[in-house]
Amino acid sequence: MARWIIFCLFVLSEAGAANGQTAKRIHERVIPIDAYVQFAGGQGLLSFGIAATPLKRISVSFGVGYTPPAYGGILTFTGKCLYTPWSIHLNERMTLLPLSVGLHATLTHSKNIDLGWDKQRYPRNYYWWSSSLRKGPLLQMGIRYKSSQYMITPYFEFSTNDLYLVSYWENRRSLSPAEILVLGAGIGVRLNP
């Protein structure tokens, strides 16, 4: 797959050069891709992924996370979409990203976690939620450092999910908002920004 993408980019760059466009213009049209690693945050103890920024303020990411057997032996697949309404340029190299808002969906796989419930044990619609699919809102904040060779963005992420939100709504007197928040921290890297 990677070879196919490289081949397509090569063909596009050659076609652009034949039409009088510079390689830099072709490069500017390529969607920026970041690699990230994240600790915790409801995506496994450690997760890795890629984030694409097809529009200036919108990013879409997909990641895979893992939690060791001592903590459940869980594999997660996460998709996120974030919108960053504004950023604050601190200087020519650093930009503060005070708030990004978005949605996430996480599919969890483990020996004891399935998409559905055991049909022999529970009648249809006994539980309204899937035991392995969580979705919900998230907030992210970070700071971006940009050099000529790379761009690094350390960030913190607060999220919750559908099951936590319903539990909070039905138990507002016994649960606090802090008890349904999940905290994660990560770092994103982009080469040749």
pLDDT at residue 4 in the model: 53
Closest CA to 37 of 47, 27, 24: 47
Which CATH architecture fits 31-106+136-191? Beta Barrel (2.40)
Q: What is the pLDDT of residues 80-118, one digit of tens each?
A: 999 999 999 999 999 999 999 999 999 999 887 877 777
pLDDT at residue 89 in the model: 96
Q: Residue 80 pairs with which residues in a beta bridge?
A: 61, 104
Phi-psi region of 13 (alpha: psi -120 to 50; beta: other; left: phi over 0): alpha
| Residue 185 CA to its chain's centroid (Å) | 11
pLDDT tier at 189, thresholds 50, 70, 90: very high
**What is the residue-wise DSSP string for 79-117?**
EEEEE----EE-SSSEEEEEEEEEEEEEEEEBTTB-SS-
Mean per-residue pLDDT, 155-175 = 94
pLDDT at residue 3 in the model: 54
pLDDT at residue 29 in the model: 62
Domain boundaries, the chain: 1-30, 31-106+136-191
pTM confidence score: 0.80
Q: What is the pLDDT of residues 20-45, one digit of tens each?
A: 444 445 445 688 999 999 999 999 99
Give the rounded percent of residues in the chain with a pLDDT score beyond 70. Answer: 85
pLDDT at residue 123 in the model: 80
